[in-house]
Amino acid sequence: MTDRSEIECWLTDMDGVLVHENHPVPGASDLLKQWRDQGKPYLVLTNNSIFTPRDLSARLKASGLDVPEDRIWTSALATADFLASQAPGGSAFVIGEAGITTALHEAGFIMTETAPDYVVIGETRNYSFEAITKAIRLIVAGSRFIVTNPDATGPSADGPLPATGAVAALITKATGREPYVVGKPNPMMFRSAMNKIGAHSENTGMIGDRMDTDIIAGIEAGLHTILVLTGISNQAEIDKYPFRPDEILNSVADLLEQEPIESDEI
C-alpha cells in the first residue's frame, strides 16, 4: 500500500467530493490551492458527458472553485481518447450533447448516420425515440456499440432521470449487443487520465465518494484509494462491499497539510 506522503499526482471525483449540490465542500478550494502551490499534477474526473471541460470549469467557478479546463477529465474525453486509439480518423453516430460531440470532433472523428464505425451513447436531456431507433438499426447492421458511462439514472430537482446506462440497456435489449463502457468503474478512464498528466499508478491517489465506481476502479487501476463521506457513502454502504479503500476520510479537508507553526523564540 502506498503511503499518502509518497503520492505525487492526484485524481479526484467532482460531485460529492469537491462539490455537493453546486456548493463547494469545505476544504475543497484549499486542497486545490495546496496542489497548485506544491506543483502536484491533478485531474478532476466526472462520468458526466453532457458538458465540455470549459463548461464544467465555468460551473465550478460559479460554485467558488478554481479548476482550469485542462484539469478536468470527463467520460466524454476518455471515450474520444479511446476511440481515437482504436480507429484514428473514424466515424460515429452519436446520441449526446456538446461534451461528447466536441470531444469526438477534436479527436478527429466524423459524425455520420451512414455506416459509422461506432454508435456512441452519451448523456443527454433529450433522448429521442427516432435517434434510439437509428442507433439500434446501425448496431444491428454492424456498427460497434460504445457507451460513455454506465450510470442508469441522474439527479434532478424533481427526482431521478433516466441516464446513459438506462438507454444503453434498452438498446442492448433490442439488439442483443452489450456495449463497451468507457467511464467509471472501468479503470480505462483512470489510465487515460494518468496518461494525460504523465502519472504512474504507484504514486497516484484517487479520491472518490462511491465504492461501486471510484474506489473499485481505483483499486483495479492500482491507485492509492481514498473514500470521503461527503457524498453518498456511509459505513453501512462501505460494509456491503468485499473490498476496502486504503483510507476513509470525513472530507477532503482531512487532506490539508497543516502549516508549520513559527516560533517567536530566537
Point out the residues that are catalytic: 13, 15
User: Residue 91: beta bridge partners?
Assistant: 110
Preceding amide of 162 cis, omega within 30: no
Q: Are 238 and 15 in contact (CB under 8 A)?
A: no
The residues, any chain, with a CB within 8 Å of residue 39's CB and separated by 6 or more, are: none
Alpha carbon 69 to its chain's center: 14
The residues, any chain, with a CB within 8 Å of residue 85's CB and separated by 6 or more, are: none
Q: In which element (H, E) is residue 218 found? A: helix 216-220
Question: What is the residue-wise DSSP string for 92-117?
Answer: EEEES-HHHHHHHHHTT-EE-SSS-S
CA distance 196 to 204: 13
Q: Are 26 and 253 in contact (CB under 8 A)?
A: yes
Instruction: Report which DSSP code applies to 213.
Output: I
Strand order through the sheet with 91-95: 110-111, 91-95, 118-121, 144-147, 180-181
CA distance 123 to 77: 13
Alpha carbon 213 to its chain's center: 9
